Structure 1
């Protein structure tokens, strides 16, 4: 499991730590470049120098957080992969991921899909974890997982979101 630890005394590291805190507390649109720079005790020019834009900083932080999330979810899938029910691995991964996001105060950051509109690593991971890999199923599961995080970010109790994810059934319907 990778852990990226920024050198917090560097301007870049302070910007990353400030971004994690600010984007963890409020939606992207509500956080300003000036607030990020002020929280990191740097100029706005430093933010543009290191990340190009607020979106560049957000994407960097989001990607790092998502990588840590996926590492944990992959581990949970591997550990549960020997269970008799193949859907248990995906359910386990979603619950481990939810617990990580809540514990680290990442629900708001991870509730949205990746900002670059390309591939969705979470959907791909969940798709490959199902008994018969299905790209659409991965997207549906990722959307449900993100909806649970969005509900938590809006004040829902994490236990309720966890219970909702735990009851998702991944069994394929019988088409006779």
Structure 2
């Protein structure tokens, strides 16, 4: 399982760590460039130098967070867990790490939804994968808006998804 460890003493590393915290706590539009720079102890110029824009920094940390979530999903499936187990593992990780507003919405229209693709591959239906991940994101969003994590997790676990049997041709 990958564990991203930035060099936190570098300006780029401090910006990435601050961005995970800031974007995890608030939606993208509510996070100001000046607040990101202040939280990282750098100038706004450093943010633009390393990431090009607030969106560039957001995409950098979101991509990393999604990679870590996908690793956990794949680990849950490899351990023999079902879809509900994998979603619970990813939910618990996102909540514990405070990634709430980083993953509670689908990626931009130009980006692939790797989390939905992984789930869709295990239920043999890309559309069902997208529906299940939408429910997972709704549970995470609810926690970000103040709902109890245990209530949101219980709602997510109430979804009964059984893998479709594979029918072999004669």
Do both proteins adopt the same fold according to a TM-score greater than 0.5, normalized to the shorter chain?
A: yes
2:120 is matched with which residue?
127
Task: State the alpha-carbon separation in 1 of the partners of residues 6 and 113 from structure 2.
Answer: 25
The structural deviation recorded for 1:172 is: 7.7
The structural deviation recorded for 1:115 is: 3.1
The structural deviation recorded for 1:169 is: 2.1
C-alpha contact 1:127 1:139 (8 A) present in aligned 2: yes
2:108 is matched with which residue?
115
Of the two structures, which has the highest relative contact order with CA contacts closer than 8 Å and spacing of 6 or more? Answer: 2
- Structure 1's unaligned 5+ residue stretches are 82-88
Q: Secondary structure at the match of 2:79?
A: helix
- Structure 2's unaligned 5+ residue stretches are 165-170
C-alpha contact 2:25 2:100 (8 A) present in aligned 1: no
2:87 to 85, 94, 98: 94
Q: Secondary structure at the match of 1:80?
A: coil
TM-score norm. by structure 2 comes to: 0.92
Superposed counterparts of 1:1-176, under 5 Å:
1-81=1-81, 89-115=82-108, 117-130=110-123, 133-171=124-162
The structural deviation recorded for 1:116 is: 5.3
TM-score norm. by structure 1 comes to: 0.89
The structural deviation recorded for 1:171 is: 4.0
Count of residues paired in the alignment: 164
